[in-house]
Amino acid sequence: MEDHKEEVEATEEPKVEEEKSAPCLENSVPNVIKKASFNDGVKRGLHECCKAIDRGVGLMCFLASNCDEPNYLSLVKALCAMRSVKLIEVPDNKTCLLY
C-alpha cells in the first residue's frame, strides 16, 4: 500500500513583528560612551573636547547643561556649529561621568 500524503498549504498569516520603538537617549548613551571609551574614542574635559572638535576628529559632543561658566557653553556650542558636530545636551554632568 502506498501512503498518500496530502500537501496542505499553510494559510497562516505571517507573523508581523511589533514595531520596536526607537531607543531613548538615556538608554543609548551609556552603551555608546562605553564602546567608545574601550577604543580610546572619548575625550573628556573642555580642553580635550575643544581640541578634538577644532581638529575635526570629533563626531559627537555631550554637553552638560549645569555648567557654571556660560562662556564654556557658548564656546562648545559655537565650535560644534562651526565644525558640524552633533551636540547633545545632557541635564547633569554626573550622569555622563557614570558611564
Q: What is the pLDDT of residues 5-41, one digit of tens each?
A: 454 444 454 454 545 556 676 677 777 778 877 877 7
- The mean predicted confidence, pLDDT, of the chain is 76
d(CA 80, CA 58): 9
**Cα separation values, 60 from 13, 29, 47, 56, 64, Å:** 43, 11, 15, 11, 13
pTM (2 d.p.) = 0.63
Run of H or E including 54 = helix 46-55
CB 52 within 8 Å of CB 43: yes
